[in-house]
């Protein structure tokens, strides 16, 4: 599951549906994988792993708000 999110081929929502889990679980798995991988390869883990952003859902929210604000006049 964590490897699938790292590939970036599907959105967080799509992966959550595919694996039948909450999106937060996928994010946690990704974080654990990245932190563990740094230990395996002898590198120092970064202080914080960047969050996964579901771009498609963000664009949908922007579109919703844009449409609703243009109809308010």
Which domain range does residue 25 map to? 2-70
Q: Read off the pLDDT of residues 26-69 as tens digits, 9 standing for 90 and up.
A: 888 888 887 777 666 665 555 565 667 777 888 888 888 877 65
List Cα–Cα distances, 10 to 40, 53, 58, 70, in angstroms. 26, 11, 15, 31
Q: How many domains does the chain have?
A: 1
Q: How far apart are CA 4 and CA 36, in angstroms?
A: 16
pLDDT score, position 1: 76
Region 14-36: mean pLDDT is 86
pLDDT score, position 70: 55
Give yes or no for a contact between 10 and 18, defined as CB atoms under 8 angstroms apart. yes
pLDDT score, position 73: 45
């Amino acid at each position: 599951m964590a490897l699938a999110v790292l590939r970036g081929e599907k959105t967080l929502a799509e992966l959550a549906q595919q694996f039948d889990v909450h999106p937060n679980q996928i994010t946690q798995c990704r974080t654990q994988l990245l932190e563990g991988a740094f230990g395996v390869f002898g590198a120092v883990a970064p202080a914080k792993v960047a969050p996964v952003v579901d771009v498609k859902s963000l664009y949908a929210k922007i579109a919703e708000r844009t449409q609703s604000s243009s109809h308010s006049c």
